Amino acid sequence: MYIPQSFLMKNHKDKVDFLKNNSFGILFSVHDGEPYATHIPMIYSADEGGGEFLLGHIARANPQWHDMDGQKVMAVFQGPHAYISPSWYVERDQVPTWNYTAVHVTGKLEILGNKETEPLIGSMLIFYGKDVDISHHLQEIPFSNMMKAIVGFRIVIEKIEGKKKLSQNKSSETQKKVIDQLTNSGSPMSVELGHIMMENMAGIENTQP
């Protein structure tokens, strides 16, 4: 991913938190010699030895899984994003742009057997529905049927790249004007992006001597 230094998400914890808060992503691999992508949830996991993973499952009817075992793949996760008008800038002669946050994960994918996939599903049920009775669901016949229709996988993470393009290359006055426009736009996504920009500005100001 192309990341100018001013937009680089440097803190590893920030990237991990982003993955946990924006876990519905796009899994890219090569299938039959062509790029192939599937939109699916993937959850971050780490072991005691420092290994990092993405866990997920794909429909057995989806041909992507047939040749992705052992492949180096990429998973892309998108946060809030919005159009930024040059009319919002203090600076003159500017061009329109788009502000956004995103994280890319690359690593080797491993197809899991049923014995590993079942606890994976349990972990995902806990992650997305903390009030779910897992033991009850694991015993239901529909759940057993679902298990036959999916293929579990684990991505052994090799690299996590994070980008937050939040007008950091503009003056603080312009950033504040952009934030004001976003937070008063009426668009939930734009409002969320405006709040992220506010937090980012506050974080930068707090680290300055």
Q: Mind listing the domains of the chain with CATH numbers?
A: 5-168 (2.30.110.10)
Tokens 């192939």: give the residue: 36
Q: Taking the complete model, does pTM exceed 0.75, yes or no?
A: yes
pLDDT at 209: 46
d(CA 57, CA 9): 28
Give bridge partners of residue 8 from the DSSP assignment.
163
Output 115 or 108, whichever has higher pLDDT. 108
pLDDT tens, 95-113? 999 999 999 999 999 999 9
Output 130 or 157, whichever has higher pLDDT. 157
pLDDT tens, 80-91? 999 999 999 998
Q: How many CB atoms lie within 10 A of CB 189?
A: 13
d(CA 24, CA 26): 7
21-33: average pLDDT: 97
Contacts by 47-55 with C-beta closer than 8 Å and gap 24+?
A: 51/156, 51/157, 52/156, 52/157, 52/160, 53/107, 53/154, 53/155, 53/156, 53/157, 54/19, 54/105, 54/107, 54/154, 54/155, 54/157, 55/120, 55/123, 55/124, 55/152, 55/153, 55/154, 55/155
Q: Is the pLDDT of residue 125 over 60?
A: yes
What percent of the chain shows pLDDT beyond 90? Answer: 77
Mean pLDDT of the chain: 91
173-184: average pLDDT: 96
